[in-house]
Every structure is written in structure tokens, then in C-alpha cells.
Amino acid sequence: MQPVHKESLPDARGYFGPFGGRYVPETLMTAILDLTKVYTEAKADPEFQEAFRKNLTEFAGRPTMLTHAASLSRKIGGARIYLKREDLLHTGAHKINNAIGQTLLAKRMGKHRIIAETGAGQHGVATATACAREGLECIVYMGEEDMRRQEPNVYRMRLCGAEVRPVTSGQKTLKDAVNEAMRDWVANSRTTHYLLGSALGCHPFPMMVRDFQKVIGEETRRQILEAEGRLPDEIVACVGGGSNSIGIFYEFLQEPSVKLTGVEAGGRAIEPGQHAARFAGGRLGVLQGCRTLVLQNPDGQIELTHSVSAGLDYAAVGPEHAYYQSIGRIQYGYATDSEALNAFRMLASTEGIIPALESSHALAYAIKRAAELTPDALLCVNLSGRGDKDVQEAARVMAL
């Protein structure tokens, strides 16, 4: 494992080693440089940070609890498992942390029009609520196919005053919605902020989203020290674009005794089109603004992806993850659809907590891992969201 110099990452051009950067049309460079400058100032401004913290507390519901999953741990008979309860946040997942941070930043830039992309609708809902609170105009691009599958979230966004624009190009899902949002941003960047939902895209987004999510790990450190008097042996989180995972990992990158494990969507199998495990099947490429591991065919065409959880279903992974994997600091595994569904059911029946299907991937790994460890070992799982949104889909694919 190489030493970690997290404070100097990314570099001024947005690189984490060979990953990251700004692969965007020339017409966006002014907006992106402006965003980088304003964010750098905001990051150092105690007033901005105070407003962010206040909103996290009063609106989002932070700090979230760290819950000892006693009966799950007992049932497995291995490590003591703790759950970081991002599922308890307003709108049901960690995404609200980032939505709050970026809406405050948009106001600081004097931009009153917000655009966002959404797949399953979780990021769209978080953005629409934050915009309603801050009095900002909100337009959410969503694939027509996703709108059909996630009707309640479409209604939630509209209820909060957002305009949901159907995207009819390509597969009519998340990747196509990102393309439409980028097109809008190119045309309207003077008045508009693009509120990107994960630790992805061009610099400064991966850095900024990480900074808005790192509160998860900071709280976890305090809480596990209070509960157990020491740091955990391992922290596990699911990886879609990579925001909840980098959010909990960041605080611990320079603690060599804490093993960090990201879990991707193994889908039906690690075969082209059947999964979204970029570390298992991806190659270096450029997608939607950054250089990272991408699922692609030998010609560089983006491969189709599949996961039972919409939030993990994306062809590229955040560049900071690609970097920490390349230096051996974070390890990545995957859980299949059926392993995630089993974990979903197991947490609900042992602890009375229904996790998001995304988070269930992290749980599936943790359940296996805990069994290999002894009861003096401490395992923390980031429960990135709640499963209310998933119960219908779960009922459809598995009979009780």
C-alpha cells in the first residue's frame, strides 16, 4: 500500500493520479473555472461552512445515528456490526447532504436556476426539496423509461415545484439524462448551476461532492470511539458513482489499521451488459467529463449495465475511487442481485430496518465478511438509504 496524501488530491487540474480531469466542451470551461473558484472560496469561508452545517442539522436531520446491529451480529456469530444510519435522513438517503451544499453554493454564485439529472429519482427528489427550501428554480432531467418506473418520485419532485423533463434519447435512462443536463448547461451556464448527484463528472464535482459527504465519516469516527473506544477494523459501503462511500471513507484514508471496502453491483453475472462492477469489468476511458474506469466494449462503446438497484446502475466510477484502488488503499468487491436481496430481507427481519437495495449490496458483503471475523472485530456498514422506495420491486422479484 502506498502512502496516502489526501489533502493534495485532486491536483489543480482535477486529477487523482491518472484519473479525473475536465473532459468538457470548450463552451463550458468558463462556467467550470468560475465554479472551481467560487467553491474554493466557499470551502475556506467559515460563514458558508456554518450555513451548510446548520442546514444539515435543521433540514436534513444530522447527525445520523450509529446503530449497533446486535441481533444481526449475533445471528452471524462473527464481528460486531455497526450501521451508519444515512437512511434516517430527510428524503431517505445521503444524497440530501450534497444537494444542500450545492444549492448554497449556487446562491453564492448568484445562480437561481438549478438543473439536475436523476436515474431512480432519489437525487432528483433531494435536489427538488433543497431548491424548494432555498427558493431556487429546479429542472430535473429524467429518462422517460425511468419516469415510468419511478412514478412516485416524479410526483414528489413536481410537488416540490420542480419541472421534470422527460428524456427520450438513447436508452431513456440515467446516462441519457446526464447528456441532456449537460446540453442545457452548455446553453445556459451564465444563469444555471448543474447540481451533479455523485462524486463523478468533471473537476471540481468529484472533489466538491466528496467534501459535502465527508461529514458521514467524521460523525462515524466520533460515534464509534464513543461506543467502542477504538476505530473500526473495516468500513464497508456500496459504490454507484461513489459519493456515500467516499463520504464515509475519507476520514479514515490515513488510518492504515482501518480496512476500507467498496461494493459494486454484480447484477446477474460479471458478463457484458449484466452488471455494473467497473472494477471487475471496466477499462480506463472517458465518460461524461472524467477519465476513469468505464464499462465499454473493445471499440470503446459504453456497455449496457444492469443492477436490481437503480442507484448503482452506471457505467463509470468516480475517479477518486479508481485512484485509491490503483494504490491499494481501498479494495472493491461486488454483490449480485440475489445476494443483495437476501441481505435486504435479513436486515429487515433481524433488526427491523429496511435498507435501500443499494445499501443492501454493502450489507451482503458485510454479512459474509463478519462470519470470517471474531466477535472482538468491529465492522461498520454505511446504510446509505432506506428501502421504502424498493419494497414494490423487492416484492415483485422475491416471494416471501
Is residue 124 at the binding interface for ligand PLP, with CB under 6 A as the rule? no
Cβ partners under 8 Å of residue 169, min gap 6: 176, 179, 180
Residue where the block lists cell 449484466? 274
Distance CA 294, CA 280 (A): 10
Residue 192 engages ligand PLP in binding (rule: CB under 6 A): no
The residue from 84, 95, 111, 175 that is catalytic is 95
67 near ligand PLP, rule: CB under 6 A: no
* Residue 26 CA: distances (Å) to CA of 30, 31, 184: 8, 10, 15
20 versus 240: smaller Cβ distance to ligand PLP? 240
Shortest distance in whole angstroms from residue 374 CB to ligand PLP: 29
User: Is 117 known to be catalytic?
Assistant: yes
- The rounded distance, in Å, linking the Cα atoms of 36 and 32 is 6
Nine cell digits for residue 65: 445515528
Site for ligand PLP in 212-241 (CB under 6 A): 238-241
CB 357 → ligand PLP: shortest distance, Å? Answer: 8
Q: What is the DSSP letter of 62?
A: P
User: Of residues 73, 84, 117, 309, which has the active-site annotation?
Assistant: 117
- Grid cell locating 367: 454479512
Q: Is the dihedral of CA 319, 197, 204, 100 positive or negative?
A: negative
- Radius of gyration of the chain from its Cα atoms, rounded to whole angstroms: 20
Q: How far apart are CA 31 and CA 113, in angstroms?
A: 14
Among 83, 93, 182, 366, binds ligand PLP (CB under 6 A): 93
Copy the grid coordinates of residue 181: 443536463
β-bridge pairing 234-238 and 259-267: parallel
> What one-character DSSP code corresponds to residue 172?
S
Q: Which stretch binds ligand PLP (CB under 6 A): 50-58, 72-80, 282-290, 356-364?
A: 356-364
358 sits near ligand PLP (criterion: CB under 6 A):
yes
Beta carbon nearer to ligand PLP, 126 or 370: 126
Strands (E), 251-377: 259-267, 283-287, 290-294, 330-336
**What's the closest the beta carbon of residue 242 comes to ligand PLP, in angstroms?**
5
- x/- map, 282-321, ligand PLP, by CB under 6 A: -----------------------------xx---------
Q: Indicate whether 325 belongs to the interface with ligand PLP (CB under 6 A).
A: no
Among 36, 244, 307, 325, binds ligand PLP (CB under 6 A): 244
- Would residue 172 show up in a list of annotated catalytic residues for this protein? no
- Candidate list 251, 307, 384, 389, residue with the active-site label: 384
Does 122 bind ligand PLP (CB under 6 A)? Our answer is yes
Q: Which of 378, 362, 364 is nearest to 242 (CA)?
A: 362
CA 376/CA 71 separation, integer angstroms: 15
Cα 116 to its chain centre, rounded Å, is: 15
Q: Is 384 in the site for ligand PLP (CB under 6 A)?
A: yes
Q: Does 84 bind ligand PLP (CB under 6 A)?
A: no
**At what angle are helices 46-55 and 29-43 packed, to 10 degrees?**
90
Q: Which of 220, 305, 359, 360 binds ligand PLP (CB under 6 A)?
A: 359
Residue 354 engages ligand PLP in binding (rule: CB under 6 A)? no
Beta bridge partners of 138: 114
Q: Which of 114, 147, 356, 370 binds ligand PLP (CB under 6 A)?
A: 356
Least distance in angstroms from the C-beta of 204 to ligand PLP: 16
Min CB(270)–ligand PLP separation in Å: 19
Which residue, 81 or 88, has its beta carbon nearer to ligand PLP?
88
Our finding on whether 95 is near ligand PLP (CB under 6 A) is: yes
Is-contact 78 375, C-beta < 8 A?
Answer: yes
Whether 169 contacts 163, CB under 8 Å: no
Residue numbers of the site for ligand PLP (CB under 6 A)?
A: 93, 95, 122, 198, 238-245, 311-312, 356, 358-359, 384-385
Active-site residues, by number, are 95, 117, 384
